[in-house]
Amino acid sequence: MYREDKVTSYLDWPTVLLFAACVLIGWFNIFAAVFDVENQKSIFDLSLNSGKQLLWIGTGAVIVIVILVLDYRFYETFAYIILAFTVISLVGVLLLAKDVNGAKSWFEIGSFRVQPSEFAKFATALALAKYLSQPGLNLEKWKDLIPVGAILAVPALLILFQNDTGSFLVFSAFIFVLYREGLSPIIPVVGIAAIVVLVLTLLVPILYLVIGFTIVAGFIILTLQRRNFRNIAMVVGGLVLLCGMAVGANAAIGKLQDHQQKRIKSLVNPGLEPQGIGYQVNQSKIAIGSGGLLGKGWLEGTQTKLNFVPEQSTDFIFCTIGEEHGLIGSTLVIAVFMGLLCRLLYLAERQKDRFARIYGYCVASIIFFHFFINLGMVIGLLPVIGIPLPFISYGGSSLWSFTILLFIFLKLDAHRLQTLAR
Amino acid sequence: MRDNRRYIIQFVFLLIGFVYLARLFYLQIIDDSYKIKALATSSERVVQYPQRGQIYDRNGKLIVYNTPVYDLMMVPKKSKIADTLAFCQLLEITRHEFDSLIGKMKKEQGYSRVRPSVFMGQLSTIDFAKIQDGLIDYPGFYVTARTIRHYPYISMANTLGYVGEINSKQLAKQEENYYSQGDYIGLSGLEASYEKELRGQKGVKYVMVNVHHVEKGAFKNGALDTAAVAGESLNSTIDIDLQQYAEKLMQNKVGSIVAIDPQTGEVLTMVSSPTYDPNLLSGTRAYSRNFNRLLKDPLLPLYSRPLQAVYRPGSIFKLVQSLTALQEGAITTGSTFPLDGPMKCHKHSGAHNTLHNAIQMSCNVYFYHVFRHNIYHHETGNMFRDSEKGLMRWRNSVAKFGFGRRLGIDLPNEKRGFVPDTAYFNKVYGAHSWKFSNWYSMAIGEGELGVVPLQMANLVSIIANRGYYYVPHLIKGVGKNGKISEKYTTRNSVDVDSSHFKVVVQAMEDVVNAGTGRSARIDSIIVCGKTGTSENKGGKDHSVFVAFAPRDNPKIAIAVYVENAGFGAAVAAPIASLLMEKYIKGSVSEKRKAIEKGIIEKNFMPAPKVPVLPKVPPGGILNKVVKQDSIAKPMGKKPIVTARNSNVPLVKVSQGKTN
């Protein structure tokens, strides 16, 4: 009794409140997304996604209690073991699972399906936090970076083999954590440059791209303050690197078959394939755009519940919010996420324990990355990559994994005064 | 430096949040196109068709109403047929038919696995009742009802007309943009002339449709919907019992009957024989199956003879000649004329040489002189000039009786008939080089004259009224208390003093009592009539009889035309007499049943392969091309109830249902 009282009194209630807001927004909008005017059912009906989501929410609450009851040192102590279990289950899913929509990412036990890749997120976060919290670690040294790469790469690559590109990309969220813990900013900058080059390769003919890069490089050399050999060599080296990347990417795409090329290109330019990915984004934009300022009202949306928008209760759940609650509702959801993220950063920074702080950054980064990719996709700013909106999208595995992710951190935070700064 | 990184990360998070907010502001507030696209993709406008108005006869009997037919719909994606054989048995089709129905359905434009398509169209209520219960075992199949016209009395097909899909010409020239492709519209008869009243007002329903265009409930809870307004019902002037009796009398005969209530101009009966079952053209399936066969039938069942068949009026026109000549003062009731001239009289001797006797005995030479006196007023001293003046004066008087022009009945395609004018004769004989002697045969209703049976019925109506008529019409009320056009309630005078009618009416009475029309006599009712024989150079003459009764305060005026039946008294007069008796007394007396039977059994149908076209007078009215190669259908005795068996002739030459 004593311990529980303590946990609840030290628990960060603003975060819990924001979490609850997200979950409830999700539940109501999942119901709205699957609501059928001609065959009206209760929000609790278990044949609807909303009824099932309520089950996940209820069981999620049980998980929360278990997390809060367990000793806070458990997570740090068993971090590597949890990751090991996760890796085993990821291998297992590759060997045992059936193909579902081209992806091998589900364990099926009866009618119950579990997606291990969802749980890999918090397992990796725990292991990464544990490794990085070692005293004297320096992320500018290759020696210390290699284990980091291993902790991230093993689960990430296993997920990529499952054909689950979205979850694979989530691992790039840890770049924020590494940056916060001392990684040189060059690495994220080069990473972003690489993405920009890749996108440009798809949009601009390769010759123009090389000419453009050369002009920019020449301009940089001309404007250099200290035009010594080292600086010029760096710029020329960068130019060669960029051109090499562009030519390489171009050659790789050129080797693909026509329809595969088209698919990759339509990631960048959805108009190319109006019935494929372009169709989804277009319908998603129509749904959100037709919401206007105030929206059409709860259960009054047409585009989502009439199946124009694909995956309307999972990855495209934000369409329902945008259509039925308009700009007001969209703004509210973004505000809730921003509030949650800022609160998490604030909580992370107030930790005396490095493990807890790093883990807090992991939580914030993962939630942010999902928010960034998912919303960017539904409003047509980013290519279609299927990852859920945390706490809001329908799905037991995803809801549980985010709940676990978040509440482990809240548990650690509740005990922050019991740990000494390391 | 590391503390900076905390804020850089926070800045990146918030920056993305603001970028997304800006994007949402653009999508949801600034760019309107998404709202329009959403409306266009997720809602559909569904037209609600109103019930077409019903038609009642003059005694309130329902003669046209809407009856449901049932389309068996199939949603292929939802359908499950566990046992195809059992399913075929339920529908009473063969396995082969089943396959061809499926194949046909798949070829339809806009076919989709998720949307309902018509599997079997327009099932009758009986067929529907048979399959209704069994259908429960077959998910994905259901039945939708719609209505088609039904004509329970199987009667007056040409008068009622038919309803069919609007054609592209009508679609293009409509004034108020009411109809769209595939809509139904009255195409002939009353269905066409009262289209605006009968059709009602279409409504519009907005429904939500999903991505597969499957309906998903009302759009905005029906806030934008407008209800369809049912069409007005029509109260007809037709006495359906009299009509059916008349059709029965006319079976196996070609011709027309028009009966009018002279006091109101209401048409009591209008028969065009041969006729057809109007239900043959009701509904798309029946229409497409039967229309062309009816159109190509050499007996022209679609041709409305009372309004369109132009005949020479024959002796009946002597009534008009008498009245116009009396009014002009060209003759008096006591005028006598030499019984010689270009015409002969084989009926009576000179001893009875008066207007009364000439009418009663239908004396041709007497009327030659009447007409001659009427035309020649010796105004200019030039026979040619006098002929011209006289013709135009006479033509003007005759026009007041409704000849040579449309009377304006509330039915489409009414013919004018023909009364020649100076321009016509100038064309035929050369300008001013013709005179009375060129066309004196009009004196006895032959020659160039052309009339339709309706005009003849109207003539009797005028005589019955002693000088005026109401334009004949078939509808006396629209809706609950809707009035009809003033045109039909206005009394039209023929500008002949009522005193001049006395001798004509008396002569007509004697025609029936002691003259050529004795076969039209009815016990205890004074009938006034006039026989006629319309010359037919191609074959046997047409039998014509006009009459009204009773003499005082007349209730019915009638004109009967029977083609190729010879002298007027033979067939036309008894038919008219039986109808008048039935209308005035309510039934035909027992002792006349033998006459009735004889009439019904008489057959004046032309021999096969001879097209039954009425003689076309010089006016050239009948433009219908009849395909000579089409073989005449056999004249069966079976009444046509269904057209399923294509060997059964469509033309209703016998009528087994009446009484």
String of DSSP letters for B153-204: T---HHHH--EEEPPHHHHHH-SS----TT-EEE-SHHHHHTHHHHH-B-EE
pLDDT exceeds 70 at position A270: no
CA distance A307 to chain B (A): 6
d(Cα B269, Cα B254) in Å, to the nearest integer?
Answer: 16
A333: contact with B, CB 8 A cutoff: no
B223: contact with A, CB 8 A cutoff: no
The letter for the amino acid at A107 is F
pLDDT exceeds 50 at position B636: no
pLDDT exceeds 60 at position B627: no
Q: How confident is the model at residue B624 (pLDDT cuts 50, 70, 90)?
A: very low
B142: helix, strand or coil: strand
CA distance A48 to chain B (A): 17
- Give the pLDDT score at A125: 95
3-state secondary structure B477-526: EECCCECCCHHHCCCEECCCCHHHHHHHHHHHHHHHHHCCCHHHCECCEC
CA distance B5 to chain A (A): 6
For B206, list phi and psi in degrees, rounded to 5: -100, 125
Question: What residue in B sits closest to A350 (Cα-Cα)?
Answer: B6
Contact criterion met (CB < 8 Å) for A349 and B6:
yes
For the stretch A355-400, pLDDT in tens is 999 999 999 999 999 999 999 989 988 877 888 999 999 988 899 9
Contact criterion met (CB < 8 Å) for A330 and B24:
yes
Question: What residue in A sits closest to B36 (Cα-Cα)?
Answer: A290
pLDDT exceeds 90 at position B506: yes
Could you tell me the sign of the dihedral formed by the alpha carbons of B629, B630, B631, B632, in that order?
negative
CA distance B633 to chain A (A): 55
Q: Between vectors from CA B72 to CA B67 and to CA B78, what angle results, nearest 5°?
A: 150
Lowest mean pLDDT among A11-20, A28-37, A59-68, A202-211: A202-211
- What percent of chain A clears pLDDT 70, i.e. is strictly above it? 90
- Give the pLDDT score at A268: 62
d(Cα A28, Cα A24) in Å, to the nearest integer?
Answer: 6
For residue B321, with 0-12 CB atoms within 10 Å meaning exposed, 13-18 middle and 19 or more buried, which class applies? buried
Q: Which of A182, A285, A341 sits opposite B27 (nearest CB)?
A: A285
Contact criterion met (CB < 8 Å) for B23 and A379:
yes
d(Cα B607, Cα B605) in Å, to the nearest integer?
Answer: 6
Complete DSSP assignment for B522-561: BTTB--EEEEEEE--TTSSPEEEEEEEESSSS--EEEEEE
Q: Which two tokens stand for residue B486?
A: 């003033």
Q: How confident is the model at residue A88 (pLDDT cuts 50, 70, 90)?
A: very high
Q: How far is CA B266 from CA A37, B273, B453, B472, B527, in A?
A: 55, 21, 15, 6, 20
CA distance A283 to chain B (A): 9
Question: What residue in B sits closest to A283 (Cα-Cα)?
Answer: B38
Contact criterion met (CB < 8 Å) for B34 and A289:
yes
B217: contact with A, CB 8 A cutoff: yes
Residue ranges of alpha helices (H) inside B53-167 are 84-91, 95-107, 125-132, 157-160
Residues of chain A in contact with residue B27, where contact means CB-CB under 8 angstroms, are 285, 288-289, 322, 379-380
- Give the pLDDT score at B646: 35
CA distance B24 to chain A (A): 7
Q: How confident is the model at residue B643 (pLDDT cuts 50, 70, 90)?
A: very low
Which ipTM value was assigned to this complex? 0.90
Residues of chain A in contact with residue B38, where contact means CB-CB under 8 angstroms, are 286-287, 289-290, 302-303, 323
pLDDT exceeds 80 at position A50: yes
Q: How many Cβ pairs within 8 Å bridge chains A and B?
A: 117
- Give the pLDDT score at B296: 87
Residues of chain A in contact with residue B34, where contact means CB-CB under 8 angstroms, are 285-286, 288-290
Of the two residues B203 and B526, the one the predictor is more confident about is B526
Of the two residues A191 and B411, the one the predictor is more confident about is B411
Which of B:35-54 have CB within 8 Å of A? 35, 37-39, 41-43
Work out the number of other CB atoms within 10 angstroms of the CB of residue B464.
29
The tokens 């954590």 sit on which residue? A177
**Pairing assessment for the beta strands B234-236 and B55-56 based on DSSP bridges:** parallel
Please answer whether residues A118 and A401 qualify as being in contact, where contact means their C-beta atoms are separated by less than 8 angstroms: yes
- Give the pLDDT score at B183: 80
Q: Which of B515, B404, B489 is nearest to B449 (CA)?
A: B404
- Give the pLDDT score at B78: 81
To test the contact with chain B by mutation, choose from A34, A40, A174, A286 the residue with the greatest count of B C-beta atoms within 10 A, namely: A286
A312: contact with B, CB 8 A cutoff: no
Lowest mean pLDDT among A76-80, A187-191, A369-373, B593-597: A187-191
Please answer whether residues B598 and B589 qualify as being in contact, where contact means their C-beta atoms are separated by less than 8 angstroms: no
Contact criterion met (CB < 8 Å) for B42 and A303:
yes
A378: contact with B, CB 8 A cutoff: no
Q: Which two tokens stand for residue A256?
A: 């693909």
Question: What residue in B sits closest to A289 (Cα-Cα)?
Answer: B28
Contact criterion met (CB < 8 Å) for B20 and A293:
no
A38: contact with B, CB 8 A cutoff: yes
Contact criterion met (CB < 8 Å) for A306 and B42:
yes
Residues of chain A in contact with residue B16, where contact means CB-CB under 8 angstroms, are 368, 371-372
Q: Which of B34, B35, B208 sits opposite A37 (nearest CB)?
A: B208
CA distance A189 to chain B (A): 13
pLDDT exceeds 60 at position A308: yes
The letter for the amino acid at B386 is D
Residues of chain B in contact with residue A328, where contact means CB-CB under 8 angstroms, are none
- Give the pLDDT score at A6: 67
Q: Which two tokens stand for residue B251?
A: 């079976």
Q: How confident is the model at residue A122 (pLDDT cuts 50, 70, 90)?
A: very high
CA distance A409 to chain B (A): 18
d(Cα A335, Cα A338) in Å, to the nearest integer?
Answer: 5
Lowest mean pLDDT among A210-214, A404-408, B155-159, B351-355: B351-355
To test the contact with chain A by mutation, choose from B5, B7, B25, B28 the residue with the greatest count of A C-beta atoms within 10 A, namely: B28
Which of B:143-162 have CB within 8 Å of A? none
Distance of CA B128 to the CA centre of its chain: 32
d(Cα B243, Cα B153) in Å, to the nearest integer?
Answer: 10
Q: Which of B16, B42, B208 sits opposite A372 (nearest CB)?
A: B16
A35: contact with B, CB 8 A cutoff: no
pLDDT exceeds 80 at position A26: yes
A203: contact with B, CB 8 A cutoff: no
B207: contact with A, CB 8 A cutoff: no
CA distance A300 to chain B (A): 8
Contact criterion met (CB < 8 Å) for B27 and A38:
no
Please answer whether residues B139 and B79 qualify as being in contact, where contact means their C-beta atoms are separated by less than 8 angstroms: yes
Which of A:119-158 have CB within 8 Å of B? none
pLDDT exceeds 60 at position B655: no
Q: How confident is the model at residue A265 (pLDDT cuts 50, 70, 90)?
A: low
Contact criterion met (CB < 8 Å) for A288 and B34:
yes
- Give the pLDDT score at B346: 58
- Give the pLDDT score at B516: 80
Residues of chain B in contact with residue A330, where contact means CB-CB under 8 angstroms, are 21, 24, 28
Residues of chain A in contact with residue B35, where contact means CB-CB under 8 angstroms, are 289-290, 292
Residues of chain B in contact with residue A186, where contact means CB-CB under 8 angstroms, are none
Residues of chain B in contact with residue A302, where contact means CB-CB under 8 angstroms, are 38, 42-43, 208, 219
- Point out which residues pair with B65 in neighbouring strands: B150
Of the two residues B106 and B209, the one the predictor is more confident about is B106
Contact criterion met (CB < 8 Å) for B38 and A292:
no
Q: Which of B413, B165, B282 is nearest to B290 (CA)?
A: B282
A328: contact with B, CB 8 A cutoff: no
Complete DSSP assignment for A342-392: HHHHHHHHT-SSHHHHHHHHHHHHHHHHHHHHHHHHHTTSS-----PPTTT
d(Cα B59, Cα B153) in Å, to the nearest integer?
Answer: 14
Q: How confident is the model at residue B128 (pLDDT cuts 50, 70, 90)?
A: confident
